[in-house]
Amino acid sequence: MVTDRYGHALHEGTREGAAHLDRAVEALLFFSPELVPAVEDLLASDPDAPVGQALAAYLGVLGTEPADAAAARERFEEFTARVDRTALPPRERLHTAAAGALLSGDLHRASRILEETSLAYPRDALALFVGHQLDFLTGDAVRLRDRVGGALSAWDLDDPHRGAVLGMYAFGLEESGHYAEAAEAGAAAVERNARDVWAIHAVAHAHEMRGRFADGIAWFDARTADWSADTFLTVHNWWHYALFALEAGDTDTALRVYDTTLHHERSQGLAMELLDGAALLWRFRLDGNGCATDLTARWQGLADAWAARMDPPFYAFNDVHAVMAYAGADRLAEAERLVADRRAWLARTAPGTVTNRAMTAEIGLPVCEALIAHARGDHAAVVDHLWPLRRRLHEFGGSHAQRDAVQKTLLDAALNSGRLDLARALLSERTALRPASTYNWLTHARLADAEGDPARAAAARLRAQELGWSVGVPV
């Protein structure tokens, strides 16, 4: 019987296909572009191998690209039409069921099936990785941590892929609030494999959530060659670098990252990259760090890229960032068309059919409407939309760092609408978690100004200045 590198038997597998599967899973764990040719070779070698077909199906959805998902669904349906799924061995049956659920749009069911798979086969790296990513896409921080933590003891200390599992665990620890432990686990993973970009990314998150932008810059700068190019996470890690630079007041570096990496004329227009671009420019809009550069052309180019996609309803988190781009570009008619299209989709789609329906109805559309209201200067409406949702934003996916753009929008609107009680509470929450954040102290100054306390405002600005430092690397 042919097995994978972890010792799992492969139904309908050949030795050649097993080698391609091992190659593909390793590339997946470390976000290597080698993943694409490895999966192509796997499907060519073993077209009827269920795990290989499931892997291809997972990839069709995880990138949140509707066209890729449609192509993956068609290919998977052709496979299942020629296979008796009831005759498959248990592990293959679980992967096939998870892939089918995911392609049908039921992310939560796919997640549960993969959790069942990990319970039975804790060394199934594919099930562990895909389940981990689904926890991220659905904003389930506890499962993001515990799914991996529950399998970690099955990975020997000398296993070459234990580091990748540690890197996943580090991200789960960070998203569930264990920042010191996350940084420690992520650093241990990077020590095992310097190019473990998911672990590098997890440590960056741990610094971000504590407002330690100097540590974040130093972490990235110490290993630039390992993360800054030729991975599927390159653009996103540069986004994190730009956030640290922006927090430090180094708007030139943040904009240089945007222009050279996040969005430029050679960008492919992928949703995951466009949302990073929108999230960075929106922070420029909110942060008040004194950017003297006119961002109009950047906003327009980004809005053009979102408009060219013509996405159907697929993932509400992406929709919010498309609206963010339209609002930043002052193209509110396009933002409103997207909202109207999603409302029409909700009207013709039964509840409980796809995960994205609840994400859109309960979180995505109210956030979109808040962003449009912010662009119009209707800050009271922003507060009305976002205040009731501020502790539920995780329900439409993403990380705390990504969703912070929405939290900052609420804080900005509370200040601008005169809801100083709300602003005071929100700012107190932020400062308790990130006492070294220059953004927080600059916003304290805004609040003090609004409350007519110039001395306290001056002290807050001085504190922000003391925390600021100069960063900059060639990009």
**In 30-178, alpha helices (H):** 35-45, 50-62, 66-81, 90-103, 107-120, 125-137, 141-152, 162-175
Q: For every one of its 475 residues, what pLDDT tens digit does the chain have, with 9 covering 90 and above?
A: 899 999 999 999 999 999 999 999 999 999 999 999 999 999 999 999 999 999 999 999 999 999 999 999 999 999 999 999 889 999 999 999 999 999 999 999 999 999 999 999 999 999 999 999 999 999 999 999 999 999 999 999 999 999 999 999 999 999 999 999 999 999 999 999 999 999 999 999 999 999 999 999 999 999 999 999 999 999 999 999 999 999 988 999 999 999 999 999 999 999 999 999 999 999 999 975 556 578 999 999 999 999 999 999 999 999 999 999 999 999 999 999 999 999 999 999 999 889 999 999 999 999 999 999 999 999 999 999 999 999 999 999 999 999 999 999 999 999 999 999 999 999 999 999 999 888 999 999 999 999 999 999 999 999 998 887 433 333 3
Q: Of 34, 402, 403, 54, which Cα lies nearest the Cα of 232?
A: 34
How many Å apart are CA 39 and CA 74, to the nearest integer?
16
> Would you put residue 121 in left (φ > 0), alpha (ψ -120 to 50) or beta?
beta
Q: Is 291 exposed, middle or buried (0-12, 13-18, 19+ CB in 10 A)?
A: middle
- Contacts (Cβ under 8 Å, ≥6 apart) of 377: 416
Cα separation, 17 vs 261, whole angstroms: 35
